[in-house]
Amino acid sequence: MSYEIRIDNFEGPLDLLLHLIRKNEMEISDIPMAEITSQYLAFLDAMQTLNLDVAGEFLLMAATLVHIKSRMLLPPDGVEEAEEEEADPRAELVRRLLEYQKYKEAGTALDSFPVLGREVFARRFPAPELEGADEGEFAAVGLFELVEALQKLLKGKPEASFHEVSVEQLSVTERINSILELLRGRESIAFDELFPSHPQRQELVVTFLAMLELVKLRMVRLMQNARFGVILLLPAVREEALEERLEIGDEVFGYG
Amino acid sequence: MDTAELKVVIEAMVFASETPLRPERVAEALEIDRSAAKAVLDDLVGEYQRLGRGFVLLEAAEGYQFRTRPEHGEWLRRVLRNRPFRFSRAALETLAIIAYRQPITRAEIEYLRGVDSGGVVKTLLEKHLVRILGKKDIPGRPMIYGTTREFLELFGLRDLRGLPTLKEFSELSLDSSPLEEEGVTESSAPSREELN
């Protein structure tokens, strides 16, 4: 017996079984198990000869077929089983085949629908990424905008002072808390508001780091007005969370 | 606003809407009853059908959308330089199973298909045709899947009730013969023509 092997035509063992049953015009209600099993196994053999990987599901079905075949050879065992409705060992398999066929046909029916973008077309609109973000006029701040803002701040600070001052230790945590203080009860604060008019370089850097930490902690969101480019800090958490002071040290952030 | 004006405004709303426009949204915007909005929309559907223009107003995904006619698919694909895409049989089978049997777990899909379906389900998730509805309250808490609004949009289905009636088979249908000749036990099943 020769087989035409077109593996990609079969979705799985149930599909293959359906194919074999149809091809041999077998009665679904009375599948000749010996015949179908030997044809199924011959098919798997052919697949292996062609060096095709036989998926585990196909082997599992082979085992199921052999099992059913062997159970049919055994004499009916005892009264209880004879009384059961599904005394026929093939019943489960037949039910699965019919069920599978139902959804296979339903899939084909779906495919015959006029599909959007294939048979029918609707108007197309610009891709969402070309439109403004849905946060009204605000867009999330990108890395480049942040770096630019920092550069601007650093440039704006006076170059050097003519007298030495003792170095003041600034803590990121302290700065975080003062930003939270500023934010309390307000909808937003402008980026520039964070910085005093003539900040020390160190102060500036610490404030900037504090702002980044707040973003990382998801307590603050950075948004930018699309039209004017003003960077704003918006509280991202509930009011109560903002009320709390951070009771942790700088070491946590790795600046200790 | 008089009736004529109302109709024109609603028509404009559908025209400018990116996705199928739901009567609820029309009603909300115009501050009228949903049923009033729906009546005008249905009216427009009939009007466009009668006009015999290049597009019709269609109900899909519980909304209304202007779409071209299926018989012009080939011409539109040419002008839009679209290639006709094909669904794989695995995708169609799996999609059908999820559509009819939702909410359904992956294990249930695999039992019905007899094949590992992880890859197909993942693809359907990525294409937004299927979504995770939640987790089933059985040991292992497996995820349950269902179809999306995009699924209805893609196939031009009004809602899930728009799916063709499942045919119950008492015997196997032969490959070549049309479905109607087979052992269809449900007389209410629509014929192929009705589906198109």
Are residues B96 and A11, on separate chains, in Cβ contact within 8 Å?
no
Closest residue in A to B90 (Cα) is A11
Tens of pLDDT along B81-95? 887 788 888 999 999
Beta pairing partners, B65: B58
Give pTM, 2 decimals: 0.62
CA A122 to chain B, closest CA, distance in angstroms equals: 5
Which of B86, B169, B176, B193 to substitute to test the interface with A, most A CBs within 10 Å?
B169
Q: DSSP 3-state assignment of B187?
A: coil
From chain B, the residues in CB contact with A61 under 8 A are 114
Residue A100: pLDDT over 70:
yes
For A123, the closest of B66, B70, B115 (CB atoms) is B66
> Given an 8 Å threshold on Cβ–Cβ distance, is B169 in contact with A125?
no
Instruction: Tell me the sheet residues that pair with B147.
Output: B130
Q: What is the pLDDT of residues B121-163, one digit of tens each?
A: 999 999 899 999 998 989 889 999 999 999 999 999 999 988 8
Q: Residue B62 — left, alpha, or beta (φ > 0 → left; ψ -120 to 50 → alpha)?
A: left
Instruction: Name the residue facing A57 among B58, B82, B116 (closest C-beta).
Output: B116
Q: How far apart are the first and last CA of chain B?
A: 38
Give the pLDDT band (50/70/90) at residue A116: very high
Helix pair A13-23, A91-111: axis angle to 10 deg: 100
The contact set of A with B (CB < 8 A) is 11-15, 18, 21-22, 27-29, 55-57, 61, 96-123, 125
- Residue A234: its H or E element: strand A231-235
Cβ pair B70:A114 closer than 8 A: yes
Interchain pair A98, B170: CB under 8 A: yes
Q: Tokens representing B141?
A: 């808490």
Amino acid at A211: M
Higher-pLDDT residue of A197 and B125 is B125
Which pLDDT score is estimated for B14? 95
d(CA A187, CA A184): 8
Whether residue B114 and residue A115 make contact (CB cut-off 8 A), yes or no, is no
At residue A42, does pLDDT exceed 60?
yes
The pair phi, psi for residue A33, each rounded to 5°, is: -65, -40
Of all residues in chain A, the one with the smallest CA distance to B67 is A122
Interface predicted TM-score (ipTM) of this complex, two decimals: 0.79
Average confidence (pLDDT) per 10 residues, chain B, 196 residues: 90 93 95 95 94 92 94 91 84 95 94 91 93 90 93 93 78 45 36 36
Element counts in chain B: helices (H) and strands (E):
9, 5
* CA closest to A115 among chain B residues: B155
